[in-house]
Structure 1
Amino acid sequence: MSMVALKQLQRELRAEAVDPYMGEVGVSVWDVSEGREIFSHEADKSRMMASTSKIFTIGAALAHLGPDYQAETRLWSDGEIDDEGTLRGDLYLEGGGDPSLGSAKHSEVFHYGVASTGNDVVDAVQRAGVKEISGAVIGDGSRFDADARPTGRLGGLTYGRGKGDDVAQHAAESITSVLREAGIATAGEVTSGMVPQHADLLGTVRSPKLGELIRPAGKRSDNFISEMLARQLAVEVRGERPGTTRTGAEVVAQYARDRGSDIHQVDGSGLAFRNQVAPVSAVNFLREMVSQPFAAEFTDSLALMGVDGTLDDRGRNTSVHGAVKAKTGTHLVRGNTAKVREFRCSALTGICPGPQGRTLLFSIMQENPKSRYTALAAQERMVRSMMDYAQSS
């Protein structure tokens, strides 16, 4: 790689980083082919991650659970099924923390059309030979705690992201409606409660594989999925029951620290201002992720500039369009209700590909930029400079 080209890149990045309109800036750029950091500006100072937190949640979930992991919604009965196909008792829905469960429309809107649906529950009930339920449908969301923070409407059993104070009951009500539409009548009052010990397993509805579930979390910066994954980690890794956001965030932070990334993470999504990381630690984490067996699933969860997710309208018709994959992070100024809302912080962390392995990993973090336009325009100029360098011979 030409030293002249490198010096040019460094001049261009430094000019952006020291521009007072950019606010307080930290930048780290790593050249994979050379195995070294090629640019650094206040890269060791921790800053607010915002939704950059999601790359750590996604990475920890892939590592601990595996890309083929599937959450299970289990169907139980506390009565016998007679010769006419009537379940003489209640049908229990035990939530396994599937964030995708909902209607077909919900699947299209939130999960790129890859999700488990109420019709999957109907299929499982019918495979068990049930044509009618003499009792009620009861939702069990006890896998996760009922704390609504930080996103609201969380629980071990949700349907369409849950509504109301009791999301497990809402899920049971929604699925009862789907069952009735399929001709499976129910008689009892829908409610929530735990599966009794003497219940019999009727069937299982499995979520899409984790490699698919994480795509909206990364590309669209989906807070709900990210927080559900954090609580899933609390259950699966720490054995906590019910799983909590606090423990899930501890699992994520420990996984990152074990791989050389010193982060402070208190939730799965980055909604809290207390989530912080230094740009160099974010890049260190990317270095680890692109070398893992699940690297393809991880990188596929990042938004593609000019194409999809939170980057669909950025970098279009430039050298980065359809090439750079990255995760955005944004906190708005509290109390700002103006039509053009100002940033408390703005971040862009990702991968800039080049030929023959000359890939660059980068993290740009800004706090208190002068304006939304200033922050985003500067980030795009910096990424274009990196792309020009990576593509140069």
Structure 2
Amino acid sequence: MEEFLISRQCLGARAAGPIPLLLATLIGLSGCDRLQPPAGAAGPARQPPAPVTIAAAVEKDMPLELHAIGRVQPFTTVTVKPQVSGQLAQTHFVHGQDVKTGDLLFTIDSRPFQTALEQAQATLEKNIALMNDALIEAEWQENLQERGLGTQRESQNKRALAESLKAAVAADRAALAKARLDLEYCSIRAPGDGRAGEILAHPGNVVSANETALVVLNQLSPIYVSFSLPERELGRIKRAQSTGDLQVRVEIPGEEQAENEVGVLSFIDNAVDSATGMISLKGTFGNANHWLWPGQFVNVTLTLGTRRGAVVVPSAAVQTSQTGQYVFVISEDLVAESRPVVPGFAVGEETIIETGLRAGERVVTDGHLRVTHGTRVVVREPADVGQPAPASRPDTHP
């Protein structure tokens, strides 16, 4: 029967021509290839282990620090203005000079004020003489009245004149004191310690009392550094400050110094900025060497205390997902486990882990992109970080 069918197929092939016969032969061979697997095949290959670098979580004491960008402010700023009007006669310092309280800065032409003083003195002396004479006449007139030789009205007039001249003398004494004070104001002195800025008025200029700015003095020692922190940190700051002074350190970006300038937190603003959600603070620094300068931007570190026995990992180990923050923990058999954690303070390149990790556990610090939960890994040396991963053989473990 099979021979008969084959003969019919062959006859049909001959009848149809050579081209259909060739197509039928090729289709048949292709179907046979799909049905028979190649010899020696071992099934689909597994993914190679992901190359990563790891670090162990350690337990140690960590400072609790907050970081911000700050700006240096002078401790005091005084704009020196004259208290009398006149022509500026002389300048007794150079701009940029450090001055002390009471140092002579400017003098105003004092001749008009000296003349006014002498005039006030003369007026006082004249009125004193008139007052003394009026008092004598008042007493004399009162004696006459007692003896019946004068009227009460005459006595009252003499006494009124004497009292009027006594008041005039008091006014003259005040005018004399004012003239003497104006003469002193011709010598303009530094109201406090500081560094002088640019001189704004020069000899020959006519200056107006309480209007013309002569120079600005900035006190550089001590000095303030102002900075802002998010309002969520306010509670931590207040709790830490209740136990004592809080240390503030600053460093100037791009400048190398032997050690950071250290001061104390001296001011917390009485309100949070509703537009930014930030709270303003100030630190006070001795600045004896004038290392900090007004207007300068600095990096600020506010230390709230020290966390004893904190579990710490490199900050690069902490990753963020839609459900929160996590780390990849590597088991003894080099399998990655995605574990949620609660990070705390970050200090430098290290982060405190509040919950979710124990000291000694190993976490991935580089190579996260190729790692998921349950991924097998191969550990690279830290020196290999950033270099192409070495070729790995397929994992043939069952």
TM-score computed with the length of structure 2 as normaliser: 0.21
TM-score computed with the length of structure 1 as normaliser: 0.22
- Higher helix content, 1 or 2: 1
- Higher strand content, 1 or 2: 2
Instruction: Flag the structure with larger Rg.
Output: 2
